[in-house]
Structure 1
Amino acid sequence: MHRRHFLTAAIATSLLPLLHPRPGQAATDVVKPPRLQEGDRVAIVSPASATFLQEQVDIVVDAVRGLGLEPVLMPHAQARYGSLAGTDEQRAADINQSFADTSIAALLPITGGWGSSRLLPLLDYDTIRANPKILVGFSDITSLLLGIHAQTGLVTFHGPNGLTAWRPDQTEPFRQVLFSGESLTFRNQQAGDDGDRLMNTRFRLQTIIPGRAEGRLFGGNLTVLSGIVGSPYMPNLEGAILFLEDVGEETYRIDRLMTHLRLAGVFDQLAGFVFGQCVRCNPAGGFGSLTLEEVIWGHIEPLGIPAWYGAMIGHIEPMLTLPIGTRVAVESDRGTIQMLESAVI
Structure 2
Amino acid sequence: MLATGEIVSAPKLIEGDRVAVLSPSFAAPGFAPAIHEQAMSRLAAATGLIPVEFPTTRLLGATAEARAADINAAFADTSIRAILSTIGGDDQITVIPLLDPAVVRADPKIFLGYSDNTNLLNWLWQQGVSGFYGGSTQVHLGPGPHIDGIHLASLTAALMTGEELEIVEPGESEDFGLDWQDPAALVEFGEREPTEAWTWAGPERMVSGRTWGGCLEVIDQLALADRLPQAADLRGSILLLETSELIPPADWVKRWVRGLGERGILEAVEGVLLARPPTSDFGARPERRERAGLRAAQYDAVIEQVASYNPRAVVCAGVPFGHTRPQWILPYGGRITMNGTARTISALYK
Answer yes or no: same fold by TM over 0.5: yes
- Please give the alpha-carbon distance, in whole angstroms, between the structure 2 residues aligned to 1:142 and 1:215: 19
Alignment deviations for residues 279-300 of structure 1 (CA, whole Å, 9 cap, x no partner) = 1179x9xx9xx93233122201
- Please give the alpha-carbon distance, in whole angstroms, between the structure 2 residues aligned to 1:108 and 1:181: 17
CA drift at 1:176: 2.7
Q: Give the alignment partner of residue 34 of structure 1, picking from 2, 11, 31.
A: 11
Q: Structure 1: which amino acid aligns with 2:213?
A: G
In structure 1, the residue matched to 2:237 is 240
- Please give the alpha-carbon distance, in whole angstroms, between the structure 1 residues aligned to 2:121 and 2:239: 14
CA drift at 1:144: 0.8
Tell me the number of residue pairs that the alignment of Structure 1 and Structure 2 aligns: 303
Q: Does 1:216 align with 2:210?
A: yes
Pair 278,192 (structure 1): closer, same or farther in 2 beyond 3 Å: closer
Pair 183,76 (structure 1): closer, same or farther in 2 beyond 3 Å: same
Q: Give the alignment partner of residue 303 of structure 2, picking from 284, 297, 306.
A: 297
CA drift at 1:233: 5.2
- Please give the alpha-carbon distance, in whole angstroms, between the structure 2 residues aligned to 1:160 and 1:145: 13
Q: Does 1:205 align with 2:213?
A: no
In structure 2, the residue matched to 1:329 is 337
Q: Which runs of 4+ in 1 moved over 4 A?
A: 190-193
In structure 2, the residue matched to 1:314 is 322
Q: Structure 2: which amino acid aligns with 1:87?
A: T
In structure 2, the residue matched to 1:275 is 274
In structure 2, the residue matched to 1:89 is 65
In structure 2, the residue matched to 1:189 is 170
Pair 272,185 (structure 1): closer, same or farther in 2 beyond 3 Å: same
Q: Does 1:80 align with 2:60?
A: yes
Give the TM-score of the pair, scaled to structure 2: 0.79
In structure 2, the residue matched to 1:14 is none
**Largest Rg, 1 or 2:** 1
CA drift at 1:192: 10
- Please give the alpha-carbon distance, in whole angstroms, between the structure 2 residues aligned to 1:272 and 1:326: 14
CA drift at 1:220: 1.8
Q: Does 1:158 align with 2:133?
A: yes
Moved more, 30-39 or 210-219: 210-219
CA contact (8 A) 2:274 2:299 kept: no
In structure 2, the residue matched to 1:22 is none
Unaligned runs of 5+ in 2: 142-146, 175-192, 281-285
CA contact (8 A) 1:136 1:156 kept: yes
